[in-house]
Amino acid sequence: MIIHIVHGVNLDRLGVRQNEFYGNHSLEERIPILKGWLNKNWPNVELRFFQSNLEGEVVNYLNDNDKPKNAFLVNPGAFTHSSVAIADSVAGLKAKVLEVHLSHTYAREAYRRGSLLAAFTCGTISGLGWEGYRLGIDALIGLHDRN
């Protein structure tokens, strides 16, 4: 099984912008930690990471990697609330998709409380910081093993 962690707009700026919401760690700092945890607990599962600030690149990545043994953990960033294109892509995927957010989107501005993708995912984790990623990976493995 391959789990693709897909990061959308501005998530390349983690550790630099709005640390009160997103924490002090960059993707480059957190990826090895997630991979180490995964290798220890799930050695037969591979993690792949992708980040883009361009909507079409996110759509292409999702569509190009939609395979039966794959799953997606997606943090779309602001695309969550604005991208019909990404939502349409997620709606058409055969692979499981779980949405994750570092910040507690439901406790923030009103426009952040809605997700265009949520109706097409198997769940959403919001507000647990990087622990949400670990929980999301566990959930996707569990859902995949049931099929």
Give catalytic residues, as residue numbers: 22, 101
The one-letter code for the residue type at 126 is S
- The β-bridge partners of 2 are 46, 70
Contact present, 83 and 55 (Cβ < 8 Å): yes
Cα–Cα distance, 10 to 101 (Å, whole number): 13
SS3 128: coil
104: how many CB neighbours lie within 10 A of its CB?
14
